[in-house]
Amino acid sequence: MNIDVAKRIPLITLVGPPNSGKTTLFNYLSGKNFKTVNYPGSTVEYYTCKIQDKYNIDANLLDSPGIISLNPNSPDEEVTVNSLYNHPEFGVPDLVIATADASQLSRHLLLTKQLLTAGFRVLLVLTMRDLLEKKGLKVNTDKLSKLLRCDVVIVNGRTGKGIDELITTIERNLKEIDTKNHSEPYSISDQLSKENLLNLYSEIESLTRAVIEPIDFPDLEKVNKNIKILNPVLQEPSLQPDLFTLKLDKVLLHRKYGLLFFFLIMTTMFTSIFWLADPFMTLVDDFFSYLAQTSSAFLGNTWYSHLISDGLISGTGSVLVFLPQILILFLILGLLEDTGYLARGAMMIDKPLSKIGLNGKSFVPMLSGFACAIPAMLAARTISNKRERLLTIFIIPLMSCSARLPVYVLLVAFLTPSDKPWFGGILLASIYVFSIISSIIVASLINKFSKKLIRTEDNSSFILELPAYRIPKLKVVLKNSYINALHYIKRAGPIILVLSLIIWFLTYMPNHSPQIDTAGLNQQEIIQLEKSERLATSYAAELGKSIQPIMTPLGMDWRIGVSLIAAFAAREVFVSSLALIFRVTDDENIQSSLLTAMQNAKNQQTGEPLFTTATVIGLVVFFVFALQCISTIAVSRKETGGWRIPMLQLIIFTSTAYLFTLITVNGLKLLGIN
Question: Is 64 marked as binding a ligand?
Answer: yes
Q: How far is CA 467 from the centre of its chain?
A: 22
Question: Is 58 marked as binding a ligand?
Answer: no
DSSP 104: G
Question: Is 199 marked as binding a ligand?
Answer: no
Residues 6+ apart with CB under 8 A from 412: 424, 427, 428, 431, 620
197, 68 contact by CB (below 8 A): no
Question: Is 324 marked as binding a ligand?
Answer: no
What DSSP assignment string belongs to 319-353? HHTTHHHHHHHHHHHHHHHHHTHHHHHHHHHHHHH
311, 500 contact by CB (below 8 A): yes
In a 3-state reduction of DSSP, which class is residue 245? Answer: helix
Helix (H) / strand (E) element for 252: namely helix 243-252
Question: Is 382 marked as binding a ligand?
Answer: no
Question: Is 91 marked as binding a ligand?
Answer: no
Strands 122-127 and 151-154: parallel
Kindly report the CA angle at 203 between 129 and 18, in degrees rounded to 5? Answer: 45
Question: Is 44 marked as binding a ligand?
Answer: yes
Helix (H) / strand (E) element for 172: namely helix 163-179
Residue 126 neighbours by CB distance under 10 Å:
26
The torsion defined by the Cα of 185, 29, 152 and 107, in degrees rounded to 10, comes to -70
Residues 6+ apart with CB under 8 A from 625: 398, 438, 442, 653, 654, 656, 657, 660
CA distance 563 to 579: 9
CA distance 68 to 320: 37
Question: Is 494 marked as binding a ligand?
Answer: no
**Pick from 456, 485, 185: which is nearest to 323 by CA?**
485
In a 3-state reduction of DSSP, which class is residue 125? Answer: strand
Question: Is 213 marked as binding a ligand?
Answer: no
Question: Is 30 marked as binding a ligand?
Answer: yes
**Side chain identity at 56, as an amino acid letter?**
N
Question: Is 66 marked as binding a ligand?
Answer: yes
Question: Is 21 marked as binding a ligand?
Answer: yes
Question: Is 71 marked as binding a ligand?
Answer: no
Question: Is 45 marked as binding a ligand?
Answer: yes
Question: Is 577 marked as binding a ligand?
Answer: no
Question: Is 607 marked as binding a ligand?
Answer: no
Question: Is 368 marked as binding a ligand?
Answer: no
Question: Is 555 marked as binding a ligand?
Answer: no
585, 529 contact by CB (below 8 A): yes
Please report, in range form, the residues annotated as the binding site.
16-23, 27, 30-31, 41-45, 63-66
Please report, in range form, the residues annotated as the binding site for Mg(2+).
27, 30-31
Please report, in range form, the residues annotated as the binding site for GTP.
16-23, 41-45, 63-66
